[in-house]
Chain A
Amino acid sequence: MAELTPEEFLDNIMIPEKSSDHICWNCTGLKPVLKGSKFPPADIIGWCKKIHWPHYWCVADFNVVKKCYAFEAKKK
């Protein structure tokens, strides 16, 4: 098995709680809600670290982000 990059490693240890159609999942900006989290409220998939950096924007799960000016694809 090829060695994991730090980003891939992080993806492996931070298991997200949700899955959805947001393009955020493929973006370096997303910090997902982790599996088993009691906080925060149930209706977000995670936080966008990018567009309001250094603040975080709550990415709602009912408002699917399909297109985003700040999208930056994760390296595959």
Chain B
Amino acid sequence: MCDIIWCKKEVDGKDCDTINYLDPYYFWNWEGTIACAECGTVYYIYMINGFMYKGPDERPGEKPDILPLYADKPYDGYSNYRPGVEGRTRPYQCMPRSWLTGTADMVKFSVRGRPVRGWRPQPPSAGLAGQFPYNWDIQKLTPEVWEEYQQKLSKGEVKDW
């Protein structure tokens, strides 16, 4: 269950018609002001146990306490503001890493600078039925990474920890 603020504020002769979602984890018991992600109109709300006790009431001129996490416009093909749009939605800080891209990171070296087999494609196995009987001889199997490793070594980029 998620309450919403359906902003009907008239902007340039047209209704704003933006749905600002009030995610229950945050707004379950909450009192304060929140701005519409589209037009910036500030609303006062007071929620108790996930129900709207007071509001939403417009509070022109007030600074919002918070921004919604997500908002969309159903009459506009559900165009939307995802979390973290500067000045419109609040950032979502739960990402495991600030630089998470969602695509596989090809890693050739560990954080301390030694080779790790984290890229593709890799040479196939050396024998029967998919077995891997040998050690990963990096010099033989991937000479270019070996070369890069030597350079790192000489530059002192390979550490113990």
Contacts and interface: CB of A to CB of B under 8 A. Distances in A.
Interface residues of B, number: 4
A16 to B, nearest CB: 14
B32 to A, nearest CB: 15
A9 interface: yes
A9 B52 CA distance: 10
A11 B51 CA distance: 12
Interface in B28-61: 48-49, 51, 53
**Interface residue tally on A, bucketed by range:** under 10
Contacts of B49: 10, 13-14
Interface SS of chain A: helix, strand, loop or mixed?
A: helix
A19 B53 CA distance: 25
Interface string A17-32: 0000000000000000
A6 interface: yes
A4 B53 CA distance: 9
B5 to A, nearest CB: 19
B55 to A, nearest CB: 13
Interface in B1-51: 48-49, 51
A14 B48 CA distance: 11
A12 to B, nearest CB: 9
Nearest to B50: A13
Interface string A26-57: 00000000000000000000000000000000
Interface of B: 48-49, 51, 53
Interface of A: 4, 6, 9-10, 13-14
A-B residue pairs, 6 tightest by C-beta? A13-B51, A9-B53, A6-B48, A10-B48, A9-B48, A10-B49
Given A10-B48, A13-B51, 4 more contacts: A9-B48, A9-B51, A9-B53, A13-B49
